[in-house]
Amino acid sequence: MSENTIALVTGANKGIGFEIAAGLGALGWSVGVGARNDERREAAVAKLRAAGADAFGVPLDVTDDASVEAAARLIEERGGRLDVLVNNAGVTGGMPQQPTDVDLDTVRTAVETNVIGVIRVTNALLPLLHRSESPRIINMSSTVGSLTRQSDPDTENQVGPLSVAYSPSKTFLNAVTVQYARELRGTKFLINAACPGYVATDLNGFRGVRTPEQGAAIAIKLATMPADGPSGSYFDDDGVIPW
C-alpha cells in the first residue's frame, strides 16, 4: 500500500478540478486526475507533473458504470486504497432552464452527472476509502443549491439565473451528502458539500469573478480536515451555507 495520501478528483482536466488536483499535489499527495477525454486528461497530468505533483491519469466518465468500475480498479492497483475523493465533475445540463418550458433532457443531463454520477463514483470507491485511516469525501456543490437563498427575494442577485436543472441538481446533491454522512456517522469518514464561489470557468462562459485557484481552496480545506472536523455540512470560504 502507498504511504502517500491518495486522492481522486473527478473532472480534474480543467477549471476548479484541475486546481484542486494542483493544490492537493502541492501537499505532496498522490493525485488521480479523473477525466473522460484522453487528450485533455494527459495534458492536465503532464502540466501537474511538470509542476512537481505526483499526478496520475484516471480515465473516468462519471455517467458510465464500466468507466467508474475501471477507475476504481486502477486506483486499487496503484495505491491499494483511497484517502480523499473530490466529486467535482459537473455540468449545467445546458441553458436556458426556465422551469415552465425546459427541455426535459436538460434536467436529466444535470441530474445524471451532478447527482447520480456522484453516487456511482462514491459507491464504487467506498471499499477503497474504507481502507483509509482518515477518509474524506468532498462533493462540489454550489450556493445556487441553497433553498434558503433561492427562496429569499433579498438574495435574488446571489442565486444565479433561473434554473430548474442545475440549481436543483445541487440541492439534490446536498441532500445526498447528508444521507451519506448519516449512514457513515460515527465512522472515520468526513463527508461534506462545498461551494467554490462564482469562478471563471467553461461552466459559465468565464463570467465568474473568482479564479479557479480561489475556487479550489474550500475543497482543499475540507480534504485536509482533522478527525474531529465536520461531516454532513455545506461550506464556502465564508463558513457554513444555509441548506
Ligand X SMILES: NC(=O)c1ccc[n+]([C@@H]2O[C@H](COP(=O)([O-])OP(=O)(O)OC[C@H]3O[C@@H](n4cnc5c(N)ncnc54)[C@H](OP(=O)(O)O)[C@@H]3O)[C@@H](O)[C@H]2O)c1
Query: Which residues are annotated as catalytic?
Result: 166
**Binders of ligand X in range 48-87 (CB under 6 A):** 60-63
Q: Report if residue 130 touches ligand X, rule: CB under 6 A.
A: no
Q: Report if residue 142 touches ligand X, rule: CB under 6 A.
A: yes
**Binders of ligand X in range 14-53 (CB under 6 A):** 14-17, 35-37, 40
- Partners of 136 in the β-ladder: 84, 190
**Smallest separation, CB 227 to ligand X (Å):** 26
Q: Report if residue 202 touches ligand X, rule: CB under 6 A.
A: yes
Q: Which three cell numbers stand for residue 205?
A: 462562459
Q: Which three cell numbers stand for residue 57?
A: 491519469
Query: Contact with ligand X (CB under 6 A): which of 4, 47, 147, 198?
Result: 198
- DSSP secondary structure code for residue 159 in this structure: S
Determine contact, residues 11/32, Cβ cutoff 8 Å.
no
- Partners of 116 in the β-ladder: none
Listed in order, strand segments (DSSP E) in 49-180 are: 54-59, 84-87, 136-140
Determine contact, residues 84/136, Cβ cutoff 8 Å.
yes
Q: Cβ closer to ligand X: 85 or 199? A: 199
**Smallest separation, CB 186 to ligand X (Å):** 28
Q: Report if residue 208 touches ligand X, rule: CB under 6 A.
A: yes
d(CA 198, CA 112): 23
> What is the binding site for ligand X (CB under 6 A)?
10-11, 13-17, 35-37, 40, 60-63, 88-91, 113, 117, 140, 142, 195-196, 198-199, 201-204, 208
